[in-house]
Amino acid sequence: MIKEISLGIGLAGVIFLAISGYDIVPILFLFMAAGILFYVARSRGMLTKSFNATPAANVSKVNFEDIGGQATAINELKEALDFIINQEKIINLGIRPLKGILLTGPPGTGKTLMAKAAAGYTESVFVACSGSEFIEMYAGVGAQRVRQLFQTARDTAAKLKKDSAIIFIDEIDILGGKRGQNTSHHEYDQTLNQMLVEMDGLKVNDKVRILVMAATNRVDMLDPALLRPGRFDRQVKVDLADKSGRLEILKLHCRNKPLSDDVSLDEIAKQTFGFSGAHLESLANEAAILAMREECTEIKQHHFLEAIDKVMMGEKLEKRPPREELERVAVHEVGHALVGEKVRPGSVSMLTIAPRGQALGYMRQTPENDSYLYTREYLENQIQVLLAGSIAEEIVLGNRSTGAGNDFEQAIKTAGQIIKSGMSELGVVDPDILPADLRYKVISSIIKEQEKMVKDFLGSLKGAIKQVVNVLLTEEKINGDSFRKLINRFNIEATDLTA
């Protein structure tokens, strides 16, 4: 309304001057110049930034009960949020309330979801933004947006008669990166400095109590001043869920889905080691899509197993390699599977020659348990499995192919992990100062030793490999149980597989 009135008064003034005989060309020029400047400033984001401020009452109802596999992180977060709820106890005990909570962890683990649940838990105004919204090439714009962010939280809370607000900044590493790294201009540093000033200004007796929450998966990039006590007082680790956590997440995402009686979510949770909450949500969704494609009224176990492959590797490709190349892929995957059963019986979950993503075929193993520490024996066994594909090609077909390139990269990386962990013949060393030729020598020694063991094992199984390959070429995909039945049918002795 004020803009319209001002525009009307200005236009009336120009008309009056024109009637009075004054030259209005300079005035019109000034108006046009001002309009152009206003348009450029607005399009470039130099004007005041408006943020997404939504009261908790209007946010989609997200509760901590809707977040699975993060019991430890939720409990730690609730304790920090109680400072907002129990203000009188805080004042009586002379406690300084927490000003900031930093959520760290891999992508897709539920950091943003936990921030939304925190707003609902405290019945606070929730203001959300991303770190990239503060960065502009124009000096002072980022700092202005930081001030506006905090002011938006206070104004919205006052308008809605709330006494608390939560500001959530996603990907804060863009805003809060270490100062002095951008030498071209100081806009990044000015923006961070303003953020530090605003957080320092938060008081326990403010009319609107503000808690700053932020999320990042690169905490190592943040400026130390942002992480000291009095700013982000606590870091809450939102990590990948373990097996029981994955099962909990799967149950949450399958609440609204009709499941067949043959579905075992416990088995799906076991086969999805390393999956984040986002991966598991996509897995449940893809399983439902596969059921819809087959016009099924319920989601079955094989839909979930197919969805695991799709989430890990991508959709099946239409391209079909020539018969000769397909046979080589089958030999390669059977080699992986046989050695996989050798190092850990019962671990092979699936082998297929159906192309997905960048892979022409693959063999998937089921983790026995979620493991976070590895022995040298375990790592050497992993190297054996990685080398088995190309060695099987050499034994059966007489030569190797480029299909094992990624396997070799992973084998070299695993051998490097043996050195880094002090489990090689070198003992405890610093890999960064280790001479390149010595590192190469030790890695080659580790890989050659495992290569010899795989050759000795697969060399006596050439006929069995060919027979399993024929079945795989016909069936295209073999699950773990069927693969083990084939091993027994072709008289591969159990002692051969566990030697």
Q: Which residues are designated catalytic? A: 333
Q: Are strands 477-479 and 52-55 parallel, antiparallel or unpaired?
A: unpaired
CA distance 492 to 346: 14
The answer for residues whose C-beta is within 8 angstroms of residue 416's C-beta and 6 or more apart is 431, 439, 443
Residue 124 and residue 74 in contact, taking contact as beta carbons nearer than 8 Å: no
Identify the three-state secondary structure at position 239: coil
Bridge partner list, 213: 101, 168
Q: How many CB atoms lie within 10 A of CB 35?
A: 10
**Which sign, positive or negative, has the C-alpha torsion 293, 297, 298, 301?**
negative
Q: How far apart are CA 163 and CA 84, in angstroms?
A: 9
Name beta bridge partners: 54. 126
Q: Which residue has the tokens 């006590």?
A: 229
Q: How far apart are CA 340 and CA 354, in angstroms?
A: 20
> Rounded to the nearest 10 degrees, how much is the dihedral formed by the CA atoms of 250, 252, 258, 262?
30
Specify whether the CB–CB gap between 366 and 480 falls below 8 A.
yes
Taking residue 69's Cβ as centre, other Cβ atoms within 10 Å add up to 27
> How far apart, in whole angstroms, are the C-alpha atoms of residue 466 and residue 472?
10
